[in-house]
Each structure stands twice: as C-alpha cells, then as structure tokens.
Amino acid sequence: MSINPIAQELNATIKNANHFLMEMLSKTGRRLFFPKGILSQSAEARQKADPKYNATIGIATENLSTMYLPSVMSLINGEKVTPAEALTYAPSFGIPDLRQLWKETMYEKNPSLKGKTISLPVVTNGITHGISVFADMFLDPDDVVIFPDKMWGNNTLVMSVRGDAEICNYPMFNAEGGFNLEGFEARVNQEAQNNYKVVVFLNFPNNPTGYTITEDEADRIVEILTGVAKNGTNIIAVTDDAYFGLRYEDAPIRESLFARLCDCDPRLLAVKLDGATKEMFVWGLRVGFITYGTQVTGGEYGPFYEALEKKTAGNIRGTVSNASHISQTMVLKTMQSPDFAREKAEKVDILKRRANRVRAVLDNPKYDDAWEIYPFNSGYFMCLKLKTVEAEPLRVHLLDRYKAGLIATGKTDLRIAFSSVEEEHIEELFNMIYNGVKDLEQAE
C-alpha cells in the first residue's frame, strides 16, 4: 500500500531524529498523517476571510456567532461557557490552551521532569481511547505486550481482541508483598530475546489492586527496561496513570514512572496515558491525554514530537474526529479556577479516609480464615484473595442475598471499590462478604 506524501514527510522527520522510532511504529502508525484538505483550508479562512463570507466550516452560525438551541444552552448554568466553547468542533489535537496547561501541570506534579523535553499532550476521548490510539500507532498483530497478572480487563479487549497483539503476564506480587521485580525482569528479558520490540504497560496505582510501587521498586524497573534497550531491543514503556495522585501512604512513589523513563535511551519510548477522568473526578467528560518522551539522536526535539503529535491527531481525526469541546472547556476552566487545588485535595482526603478505614477493619483477625489481602496503598480499589470459595459464586451470592455489589476478577480474586462506599458503611460491607463466604462454605 502506498504511503501518503504527508506521512512520508512525517516519517522522514521521525527517522532523522530517532530512527528506532520507525521500528516501533506499527504499519498503521507509519501510514498515519494529519490531513490538510478541509481542516487547513478552514484554518486559513479563519485567519483571512471576512466572517460574513466564511463558508468553510461545517457548523451553522447566526448573527456571526455559533447557532444554538436555547433549551441546550439553558442547561449550562451562568455564562462561563459560551456556545462557541461548548458546541463547536474542537481541534483533533485538542484545545491548545488545555494541552499547554496540562503539560505545565505535568511538570509541576513530576518535578524530576525538569530539564527534560517531552511532547505536547494530545487530547483523547478518555484514557481508554488513548490506549486504542496507542494500539493503532504502535501495535501490529502478534506484537508482545507485557502486563502483570493483576490488570484491567479492558486492555485485553482493546489490544488483543481488536488489535490482535499477544498479551503476556508475570505474577505482580512477590512472597513479601511487594512488586515482583524478579518476575518482571524475567518476563521482559524472555520476550526481548524473541522480539525486536517489546511493549510494557505500567499501571500505578494499579487497577484492580490499588497498589503503587515504592521508590526502590521504581528505580529497579527503570534499570531493567533501560538495560534491555541498551542491549538492542526496542522498548515502549506505557505508563497508565489513570489514578495518578491518589496515594494514601508515604511509601508509594509520588511521580509517574514516565518522568524517569522519558530520556533513558533512544531505544526506549515512554508513553504517558493520563487524564482528568479520575484525577478531577469527571469520569463522564472523557478527557484524556497521550504524551511522548524519548531521546533524540539527530536534529531537534520540536519537529520530532510535532510529527508524532500529527500522527496521533491523524488517528483521532480518522476515528472520533475530536474529543468533546464542552468537556475540554470544562476541564480547562476548572483547572484555571483558584478553588481547584483546594477542592481536589478535599476529595482525595475523603478517599484516603476510606482507604484507612478499610485497612483498620481488615486488621481484625476474624477474617483471616476467609481471605488474604493483596497489597494496596492508593487508587480506587483493593482486592481480596479468597481462601475457601470461588469469587464468582460469592459475587452472585452477595448480590442476591445481601444486595452488595462487587467485582470478581479471577477464580479467587474479589475487587472492592472503596471509592464508592461511604466510610461508615465499610465495616458492614466486609462483614457481609465474610458472612457470604461462610454461607457458601456451609452449602458445600
């Protein structure tokens, strides 16, 4: 299949700056480009045409402003969001001011990024869409993607079922209750021996367990991945930072692994997937971001990252066109609010109190014969490893008899979203789970 001339130009820019990236891109990724056509002509018209005669954009206007139904705009309280900010198409890259502000806050939240050059984030329709965009750009059928055995099930649907990639696992925890560095290293080295490119997903706080690695564990992960890259295997390290900032103890790392990985080696591409979804408690607004970081061996960082951003926006243009304008506007204006930091801290504190309550309740030895607790210190979730009954029958029993809703994530594993349970109801919930275990034990 022939490659569009614009894609060829982008590929040349990427290759000149870091030729290993051309080996990492999928066939689709190498063909992707951001079209000029209608979009570029409309942009030119916005700059030069008299608004009375600008007939380029596929929206309707009235009195030289965005046309709208009063019944629609009446749902937006006050006048802080205009029809143009709510109802028109956003750029496929995302609103420029939002992209820039998100990048600035990324440096604030990850101080070790100081002095490092990364791309400008591209807005996705939530992090799930970001994973899909990544898969289109970097995964070919049978490419290897490494996850721990405790992983979000939707990754399989996006990358394996839809993308035909091969997902392989390693045990997430060691016998001491920490991250299984030995298992991680063995899996990465094994796949590196058989493949020219290995993709590693790093999801902390982890869904479903709620575990975030320690500083020492983070340093060792970086050492392992950098060592494999320096030995000649292309590594793409994807940090799924959906629950970033939700840490409830001192031991977990404060920064994203992206900050440590983004300039380690030319053969190592760090990809950061994050968003307002959980960080700002705006799940349905579906505002995520995808950001790139690596070493450039030739030329300048600017054109190199711009080429990757254009390919990313081309993928978005060719699928969902753009993320919701009103959602992006709401996120941007919220981040600019002087009350934002305080309001966010208050909500995080509520989740921390719930996590601490879970830990206090589960310290009761009466539960020891029913389950073990997987390590958790952050995020929305924690998991139980059941000792005597299977998770799915217990889940159904709890729902039918006790009206308690939980998620079975494996034969023995039960996920509890303490983020959605009020603090005063947590002990009662775990007593229900315990009683449910005993019910099933007696029925056997």
Whole-number Å distance between alpha carbons of 261 and 271: 9
Whole-number Å distance between alpha carbons of 323 and 343: 25
Peptide bond into 205 cis (omega under 30): yes
What pLDDT score does 57 carry?
78
Distances (CA, A) of 46 to 58, 64, 157, 249: 13, 13, 41, 51
With 0-12 CB in 10 A as exposed, 13-18 as middle and 19+ as buried, what is 36?
Answer: exposed
What pLDDT score does 45 carry?
75
In this structure, what are the phi and psi dihedrals at residue 409, rounded to the nearest 5 degrees? -110, 5
Confidence (pTM): 0.95
Within 10 Å of residue 296's Cβ, how many Cβ atoms? 19
Nearest C-alpha neighbor of 29 from the set 12, 9, 13, 7: 7
What pLDDT score does 42 carry?
77
What pLDDT score does 39 carry?
67
Chain centre distance of CA 415: 20
Residues of the chain with pLDDT under 50: none
Cβ-based neighbours of 326, under 8 Å, separated by 6 or more? 76, 81, 85, 86, 87
Residues in the chain: 444
Q: Could you give the angle at the alpha carbon of 438 between the alpha carbons of 433 and 444, nearest 5°?
A: 130
Extents of the domains making up the chain: 5-34+92-335, 341-443
Nearest C-alpha neighbor of 286 from the set 94, 157, 68: 94
What pLDDT score does 54 carry?
83
Q: What is the pLDDT of residues 172-208, one digit of tens each?
A: 999 999 999 999 999 999 999 999 999 999 999 999 9
Domain 5-34+92-335 shares a fold with domain 341-443: no
What pLDDT score does 80 carry?
85
What pLDDT score does 61 carry?
86
Return the CATH architecture of domain 5-34+92-335. Answer: 3-Layer(aba) Sandwich (3.40)
Q: What is the CATH number of domain 341-443?
A: 3.90.1150.10
